[in-house]
Structure 1
Amino acid sequence: MRKTLDELRVEIDTLDKKIQSLIGDRAELASAVADVKKASDDNSSFYRPEREAQVLRRIIKRNDNLLKDKDMAHIFREIMSACLALEQGISVAYLGPEGTFTQEATLKHFGHAVSTLDCGSIDEIFHQVEKGNANYGVVPIENSSNGVIGGTVDMLYSQDLKVCGEVEISIQHQLMMADQSQKIKVIYAHQQALDQCQRWLSNHYPNTELKAVASNALAARMVKDEPNSAAIASEVALGLYDLERVAKNIEDKPGNVTRFLVIGNEVVPPSGEDKTSLLVVTRHQSGALLDLLEPFKEQGINLLQVAKHPIPGVKWEYLFLIDIEGHREEAHVQNALTVLTEKALKVNILGSYPVAVL
C-alpha cells in the first residue's frame, strides 16, 4: 500500500532525530580525541589534512544511495568541520573581502565552522600565517585559462611556509551593477577576471573603461555605491552586495577552473593519494632542463606541472614550479629528489599533500 504524504514526513522526522543523535555521538568522540591529545601534550594541530582526505575518499567509495558521491562528501565535510571546531579553533586567511572565489575555496576545503580572516592581498595572507594570526592560508596558484598566478609563486619562493593541501573551484563570472538601467562607463574586476572575460568584453563593451582592482568581491562592493559602474564577480558576491545581474557566465572559456593551495607550518603525512610541489632553480648550461626532468622519468614519477617563472628581483633568471605525483616520504620520490638536488642549483620542497577530494 502506498504511503501517504503525512506518513512519509513522520518517517523523515524519525530519521532526522536518529541522524542528529549520531552526529552528536560523533561530536563527543571528537571531543574525546581532543582530550587525549591535550593529556599527551601533543602540540601539533588537530587539523589533519591526510586523515580528512582518507575519510572523504572512503565516504565516496562506499556511497551507494540516491545522493551523488560529491554531495554525500560535502555533507560529511561540514560534519567534520563542526567537530574539528570542538577540538580546536582553526583560523584561515583568504583573499577578501567577502564574496571572493578564494573565500569559496576556503569554505569548500575547511567547512563553514572554520574562523576566517579576510586579507587585502596574497602577500598579506602569507604574512598573517607567518605571524601566527592565522593557522592556514588559502591562495590561488593556477587557472585553467590563464596559467600560474605569479604573485603566489613569488611568495612561495620568498617565504618559508609549507603547502598543506589543495582545492579546486569552478569559476563562473557574472557582470553586475547597482542599477542596470544605467549606462556602464567603467567595469571593475581583478586582472585575472578581466583576462578570462577579454573576448566577451571586447564584443559587448568595446569602448568601456576596464579597471583592475585587488579582488572581484572588492569590485562588487565598490560598484554598490558608484553610478554607471559595473563589476565582474561571483554569484555569491551578487547576492552579498545586493546587486543586479547584467549578464551571466561571461567567461570566455567554459569549464574555467582555479586551483588553490592551502599554506601552513605543518608537514603533512602521506594519505595514499598525494602530490608534491617543488620550486627548482636550474644551472645555466646546455641540457639543464633535461637534467631536471630525468630523475622523475627514471623513477617512473608522473609530472603534473612544469611552469617557468621569473626569479623575484633577478633579471633574466628563472625558476620552475613543478608538481609531481607521490609523497616525499615514498622511496621512489626520495630517490628522485636526491638526484635532482645534486643536479639543480636550488630545490625547495614546498610540501606533500593530499590530492583534492572535493
Structure 2
Amino acid sequence: MSQRPERLRRYSYLGPAGTFTEAALKQVEEARGQDWNPVTNLGEALNDVVTGASDAAMIAIENSIDGGVTVAQDLLATIPGLRIIGEYLVPVDFVLVARPGVTLEDISVVAGHPVAYAQCRTWLDGARPAHLHLPATSNVQAAADLFDDAKHIDAAIAPPGIEDHYDVEVLAHSLADNPDAVTRFVLVSRVVPIGEPTGADKTSLIAELSEDRSGALLDLLEQFATRGVNLTLLASRPIGDQMGRYRFVIDAEGHIKDERVADALLGVKRSSPNVVFLGSYPRADKISAEFRPVHDNDRFRDARDWLREVIEGVEES
C-alpha cells in the first residue's frame, strides 16, 4: 500500500515574485521546497494564517529608514491568535526600470511603493525634477504596472533582479538615499508553544497604558529598566477609540524564558489593562543581550528561594 505524500507547508508573502518579502522568505530554511502563496497586502497574508489557509506569513515590520510598518503593527495588535516565530533582515536597494526603448529623458510618471519612493526621492528629484509619483502596492507590482497601458507609467522603482521576472531595461542602479538601509521582516504563525532561548533572542509585545496621567509611560518602561532588559524598539500607535489613547509596540532583548524578561512581562501585565504577547524568537543579527550580573537567571532564582525559605521558616545557613 503506497503512502500518501506529506502535505506541503504553505507560506503567504507580499507578492508577486521578486519582492523583498520573497527575499526574506528565502532565508527560512524550513520554507524551502514548500508551497509559497503570493498575496496583495499584509491583511490578506495574516488572514491566511488565522483561517488556516497558510501555516505562516512573512511580513515587513520595520525599516531602518522609515521606522515601523504601522499597518503591520496595527494588525498584530488587533488580530488575535498570532505569534512571531522568527525575524529576518534584507538589505534594501532599488533600480529604475522601464519598458525597452524608453530612456531617462522620456520619464515623467514613476510608479513605486510609497516607502520605496520615499527612500529614492533625492535621486529622482535630481534626475527628473518634474516627475509625478504613482503609488504601487509593492515594489514588484510597480514594474508590472509598466505594462498596464491605462496607467500611463513611464518608469518604475523596483528591486534589483526585477529584469529576471519582467521584460524591462534597467535605467539606473542604487537609487536609495541610504546605501545601508535594511528592512526587518517577521515570520508569523498561529499561537504555538514557545521555543527554548538561544542566547541571542528578542521578545515582542504590545501594551496599553493603565491610564492617561503623568508618569504612566515611565511606569511601563521601568518594568524593563529595573530588571536590566534593554528595549530595541518602542513605538506608539493610536488605539482609535478616542483622542489621546495609545498602545506601545515594544521589542525587548532576551527571551520570555529568561528570568529577567519573564519578571518584566509580569510587571507589564500587572500595570497594563491590555497586553498582547507577540513572541520570543532568535534575533536575525545573532547579537546576545548584555546585562549586569545582578540580572542573571541564577540571581532571580536565588531570590525566590530565599523568599520561600523565609516564608516556610527555614533557618538560614
Q: Which bin holds the TM-score, normalised by the shorter protein? A: 0.7 to 0.9
Number of residue pairs the alignment of both structures matches: 274
**Deviations 1:232-270 (Å, cap 9, x if unpaired)?**
111132321121001101001111100001100123312
Per the alignment, residue 336 of structure 1 pairs with 264
Residue equivalent to 2:170: 245
Match of 1:236 in 2: 161
Question: Normalising by structure 1, what TM-score?
Answer: 0.73
| Aligned residue type for 2:132 | E
Q: Residue 270 of structure 1 contacts residue 354 of structure 1 at CA under 8 Å; is this kept in 2?
A: no
What residue number does 1:260 align with?
185
Residue equivalent to 1:304: 232
Aligned partner of 1:4 in structure 2 is none
Cα–Cα, structure 1 residues 179 and 355, in superposed 2: closer, same or farther, change >3 Å? same
Tell me the residue number matched to 1:145. Answer: 65
Deviations 1:261-308 (A, max 9, x none): 110012331232211001011121111111111111111111111112
Establish whether residue 271 from structure 1 lines up as the match of residue 197 from structure 2: yes
Q: How does 1:30-109 map to 2 (within 5 A)?
A: 89-109=8-28
1:324 is paired with a residue whose SS is strand
Pick which of 110-119 and 136-145 moved more: 110-119
- The aligned residue for residue 325 of structure 1 is 253
Any stretches of 5+ residues in structure 1 without a counterpart? 1-34, 36-85
CA RMSD of aligned residues (A): 1.9
Native 8 Å contact 2:84 2:188 kept in 1: yes
Question: Paired residue for 1:198?
Answer: 121
Quote how far apart the aligned CAs of 1:88 are: 5.5
Q: Is residue 220–residue 238 contact of structure 1 (8 Å, CA) maintained in 2?
A: no
Q: Which moved more, 1:264-273 or 1:296-305?
A: 264-273
- SS state of the match for residue 197, structure 1? helix
Counterpart selection for 2:276 from 348, 355, 358 = 348
Q: Deviations over 1:112-136 (max 9, x none)?
A: 3121101110110011111111100
- Alpha-carbon spacing, 1:313–1:137, altered in 2? closer, same or farther (3 Å): farther
Q: Distance in 1 between matches of 2:39 and 2:184?
A: 19
Structure 1 residue matching 2:183: 3-state secondary structure? strand
Query: How far, CA to CA, are the matches of 1:356 and 1:252 in structure 2?
Result: 24
1:345 CA displacement: 2.7
Q: In 2, distance between residues paired with 1:312 and 1:333?
A: 29
Alignment of 1:160-199 (within 5 A): 160=80, 161-182=82-103, 183-199=106-122
Q: What's 1:130 paired with?
A: 50
Map Cα deviations across residues 44-79 of structure 1 (whole Å, 9 max, x no partner).
Answer: xxxxxxxxxxxxxxxxxxxxxxxxxxxxxxxxxxxx
Q: State the AA in 2 paired with 1:310.
A: P
Closer, same or farther in 2 for the Cα pair 1:93/1:208, shift >3 Å?
same
- CA distance change for structure 1 residues 312 and 176 in 2, over 3 Å: closer, same or farther? farther
Identity %: 33
Q: Following TM superposition, where does structure 1 have runs of at least 4 consecutive aligned residues deviating by more than 6 angstroms? A: none
Note the C-alpha offset of 1:329. Answer: 2.1
Determine the C-alpha separation between the residues in 2 that align with 1:135 and 1:95.
15
> Which has the larger share of helix?
1
